[in-house]
Amino acid sequence: MARTFEKPLYTLTTPDENKQDQDLWEAENLGGITEDNNRLPVPVVWLLLLTVLTAFAITQPLWGQRPNAAIYAEYVRLMNTPEIMAIQDDKAAMAKIVQMSKGVHPDNEHKGEAMTQKGGVEAPHAGESFESEMDYDALRDRHPVTMDDLRIIKPQIEALMAKGLDLEEYSVVGDMVVLANFEGNFKKDGSRERKQPWWDKGYLIDVFYVTYFFVFVTFVIKCLPPSAWQPKHNH
C-alpha cells in the first residue's frame, strides 16, 4: 500500500490506489447495504472531544492518588488522646477520629506557631512539609481506614516521625508504610524528592492512549478515498 504525505489532511493514499479503492467500493454491494463516503458531521466531532475533556476533568482528581503516610498522621495523633481512648467501640472511635480530623492539615497549626513564636521563621516539625498543597480531607475520604488498619500502621508512622522524615514521601501499601517509588527533583541534601508530582496522577498514560486513538483513527480514515468522491452504487 503506497502512502503519500503531500496533502495528509486530504488523503494519505496515492491516486492509483485511490482509484483501486473506489472501484472496489463500487463493485461490492455489501448484501444490498450501500455506504456513502461522507465526512463525520462536525457536531459529532465536537461532541466526542467534549466527552473526552469532560471525562478527564471529572476524574482527574481521582486517578492515581496514592495514600501517603502524612494523611494519616492526624489519625495516629488522635488515637493517643483520652477522648478517643475512652471509646470502646472501634467503629465509633474511628468515626470520631474522622470527624475531628476534618479540615486539619499537619502544617496548619505549626505554621501558626512559627509565625507567632519564631518571628515568622518556619521550621517543620517531624514528618511535616510546608511545600504540600494536598487536600488531606479528600485523600482521607478516598482512602478510608479502619481502627485495625491504624493500629498496624501507627508504629511505622510514629517511627518515621521520630526520625524527622517527610511523611508525604512514604506510601501506605496494605499494612506497610514504604518509601514512595517516585523520583523527583534533587533536594538540597542531594537526595531525590519522593512525592507524586502534580502531572503524574495516573492519567498521564491515558493521555497517551487517547492521543494514539485519535491519531490512528485519523490515519485510517485518510487512507480511504477523499470525501469529495461519492460512490454511485451502480446508479
The predicted model scores a pTM of: 0.54
What is the tens place of the pLDDT at every residue in 183-216?
A: 878 888 888 888 876 666 666 667 788 888 889 9
* C-alpha cell read off for 1: 500500500
CA distance 138 to 67: 11
What is the model's pLDDT at position 129? 44
**Residue 223 has what pLDDT?**
85
Q: Domain-by-domain residue ranges, the chain?
A: 1-64+204-235, 69-179
Q: What is the pLDDT of residue 227?
A: 80
Alpha-helical regions (H) of the chain: 15-27, 42-59, 73-79, 82-85, 90-101, 106-117, 136-142, 147-162, 204-222
Mean pLDDT of 211-222: 88
Q: Would strands 170-173 and 176-179 be described as parallel, antiparallel, or unpaired?
A: antiparallel
**For range 23-39, the mean pLDDT:** 75
Angle between helix axes 147-162 and 90-101 (nearest 10 degrees) is 50
Residue 106: its pLDDT value, please?
A: 56
Q: Given a cut of 90, is residue 86 above it in pLDDT?
A: yes
Mean pLDDT over residues 89-101, rounded?
93
pLDDT, tens digit, for every residue of 129-159? Answer: 444 456 788 889 889 999 999 999 999 999 9
More confident residue, 77 or 61: 77
